[in-house]
Amino acid sequence: MTFKDFKFSPSLERAVFEAGFKTPSPIQELSIPLILKGNDVVGQAHTGTGKTAAFALPLLEKMKKGEQGVEALIIVPTRELASQISDEIYKFSRLLKIRTTAVFGGMSYRKQIEHIQKSGVVVATPGRLLDLLERGKITISPRFVVVDEADEMLNMGFLEDVRRIFQFFKTREQTLMFSATIPDEIKDLADTLMKKPLFIKVESEEAVTNNNIKQYFYMVEEGERDEALLQLLDFSRPKKAVIFCRTKKETDRLADFLKKKKFKVEALHGDMEQYDRRKVITGFRKGEYNILVATDVAARGLDIKNISHVFNYHIPLDPESYVHRIGRTGRAQKDGTAMMLVTPAEASELLRIKEDTGSQLECYTLPQKSKRKEGRTKDIISQLEKVPYGKTHTEIVGSLCEYYPEEELVPRLIAFVEETLNKNDSIGKTKEEAELILASYQGKDKQEKKPISHKRSFSSSSRGRKFQGIRRGVERGEVPEPSIKKTSGGSRIVARKLY
Ligand SMILES: Nc1ncnc2c1ncn2[C@@H]1O[C@H](COP(=O)(O)OP(=O)(O)OP(=O)(O)O)[C@@H](O)[C@H]1O
Ligand SMILES: [Mg+2]
């Protein structure tokens, strides 16, 4: 299939070509025809597989050209994502003469209101949008409303805002929701906001995480995180990396710590001024520095080219957050690596992530410290090995003096003795130790959790079948019936994360 098969208008087709898109991704292939036909769609597909274009292209095709007022509204959870999505849509809308604007907090009201009045597409965070609507600063009646990162937007905290926003748009024609994770509870909520929504799920294998991402974890004690992270950075030498922390305070502290170690790094979190947030993201995109230490504010939707590694300094608060955090790498069919630090106390959280996401998270042992201290004692050992057996101390020192100036010899010998005495120079648990710890939790988990299934819609083995069903329906030109599965594990809406 090619983009020509969608029979877009020549201008849109050209814009898609100029964006360098040749083949539609599976989510685009499945959802574009359904959206063009006017269906309400809930789309789920792996991170980095083109969900933005999957909803943006058919909507742009359906929009009336020229100054018609706001026809499409896209609601997103963060300011960074609002800017990014409005830029991505601009790539396609520019030739259609449809204006796009981003609306979020921390920016001047006056300018934003002016821009909204001239735009056909508005990409907004819920807080600022609701503020403008409730204070009567803008009156818009979009035909299409999209909730990107739908599960996040319908989580506690955003849910009330989103419901109130929807009250303003009762005349909308079509509602769309997209995310890489759509738990069952969200389906029930979506059902109250949408008309006969069609659920599309694209998943090639069992995992909700993107298959292009290699995933490892390392078990350490709480106090070993910094040293372990340094070892992983040293060892993996990332081209571009995001390190996720749980709190804003930890994010700032870790960024300072890494700066002192001469890494090129900046912090990003929700307490920063808008000007600084923008500066940090722009600098990271441009490659002015290659490590971003962030809270979950950077976990959802951000599409930054060439992120080779994602590090979880702390285990994420929930499996969804894990899927989205690591999804900052391995995008647009590129490969990526995700590494996570886990303490024994976090073993059950790790097991839940593995179970709920179906991820192949492999356990590794951290490289030993001494292996990183290239040259400090390595060459003195090889010289000692050359000294024939049976020599006296004086003769040994004499032969070493042939290789080293006297002033260097003493520190080198001391380092050698230190490392020989301090044999346990490694930090973290070995793979074997970590696996034993996990096994003990696994047993406990099974006994304790038996009556409640934590399996969510996105980890169920029926995933493949559901996808096939939808796919066949589309191929036969039929509109499949909505399939809504009720959750058996009770409601599990994730508490608002403080990022
Ligand atoms: N058909 C395509 N061909 C080539 N590149 C594409 C195609 N569709 C999307 N892309 C590119 O892939 C990247 C990821 O797309 P996008 O940000 O829409 O992913 P996503 O599925 O929304 O991910 P996330 O779940 O993290 O939000 C973007 O850089 C986008 O320009
Ligand atoms: Mg996205």
Alpha carbon of 50 to ligand 1 centroid (Å): 3
CA distances (Å), 128 to each of 69, 77, 113, 133, 496, in order?
Answer: 19, 11, 11, 9, 18
Please name the residue whose Cα sits nearest to atom 1 of ligand 1: 24
Mean of all residue pLDDT scores within the chain: 85
Q: Which pLDDT score, from 0 to 100, does residue 415 have?
A: 64
State the CB neighbour count (10 A cutoff) for residue 368.
14
Q: Which pLDDT score, from 0 to 100, does residue 458 have?
A: 42
Alpha carbon of 79 to ligand 2 centroid (Å): 13
**Fold exhibited by the domain 210-363:** Rossmann fold (3.40.50)
What would the pLDDT profile of 201-228 be if each residue is shown by its tens digit? Answer: 997 667 899 999 999 999 999 999 999 9
Q: Is 47 in the pocket of ligand 1 (CB under 6 A)?
A: yes
- Determine if residue 493 is left, alpha or beta; phi over 0 gives left, psi from -120 to 50 gives alpha, anything else beta: beta
Q: Is 295 in the pocket of ligand 1 (CB under 6 A)?
A: no
Which of the residue ranges 32-36, 72-76, 188-192, 264-268 would you say has the lowest mean pLDDT?
Answer: 188-192
Please name the residue whose Cα sits nearest to atom 12 of ligand 1: 332
List the domain boundaries for the chain.
Answer: 3-206, 210-363, 373-424, 458-494
Q: Is 1 in the pocket of ligand 1 (CB under 6 A)?
A: no
Please name the residue whose Cα sits nearest to atom 14 of ligand 1: 48
Q: Is 328 in the pocket of ligand 1 (CB under 6 A)?
A: no
Which of the residue ranges 286-300, 422-436, 481-495 would you say has the lowest mean pLDDT?
Answer: 481-495
CA distances (Å), 240 to each of 214, 257, 308, 336, in order?
Answer: 16, 18, 5, 10
Going by C-alpha positions, the residue among 299, 305, 285 that lies closest to residue 251 is 299
The residues, any chain, with a CB within 8 Å of residue 32's CB and separated by 6 or more, are 6, 24, 54, 57, 58
Sign of the four-CA dihedral 262, 268, 269, 272: positive
Q: Is 301 in the pocket of ligand 1 (CB under 6 A)?
A: yes
Going by C-alpha positions, the residue among 95, 18, 13, 19 that lies closest to residue 52 is 19
Q: Are 122 and 72 in contact (CB under 8 A)?
A: yes
CA distances (Å), 104 to each of 116, 242, 420, in order?
Answer: 12, 23, 58
What would the pLDDT profile of 406-441 be if each residue is shown by its tens digit? Answer: 766 776 677 666 656 655 567 899 999 999 999 888
DSSP β-ladder status, 121-124 and 72-75: parallel
HSE toward the beta carbon, residue 241, CA cutoff 13 A: 26
Q: Which ligand is nearest to the CA of 74?
A: 2
**Fold exhibited by the domain 3-206:** Rossmann fold (3.40.50)
What would the pLDDT profile of 444-474 be if each residue is shown by its tens digit? Answer: 655 444 332 333 444 333 332 233 223 222 2
Query: Is residue 48's pLDDT more than 80?
Result: yes
Q: Is there a common fold for 3-206 and 210-363?
A: yes
What would the DSSP string read from start to end of 410-476?
HHHHHHHHHHHH------S--HHHHHHHHHHHHHHHHHHHTTS----GGG-TTHHHHHHHHHHHHHT
What does the alpha-carbon distance between residue 462 and residue 330 come to, in Å, rounded to a whole number?
25
Read off the DSSP letter of residue 62.
H
Query: Is residue 488's pLDDT more than 90?
Result: no
Q: Which ligand is nearest to the CA of 46?
A: 1
Q: pLDDT grade, residue 378 (50/70/90)? A: low
What does the alpha-carbon distance between residue 173 and residue 353 come to, in Å, rounded to a whole number?
37
What would the pLDDT profile of 330-342 be if each residue is shown by its tens digit? Answer: 999 999 999 999 9
Q: Are 215 and 359 in contact (CB under 8 A)?
A: yes
Q: Which pLDDT score, from 0 to 100, does residue 131 have?
A: 97
Alpha carbon of 424 to ligand 1 centroid (Å): 46
Q: Which pLDDT score, from 0 to 100, does residue 481 have?
A: 31
Amino acid at the residue 383 = Q
Query: Is residue 77's pLDDT more than 70?
Result: yes
What would the pLDDT profile of 172-202 be if each residue is shown by its tens digit? Answer: 999 999 999 998 888 888 888 999 999 999 9
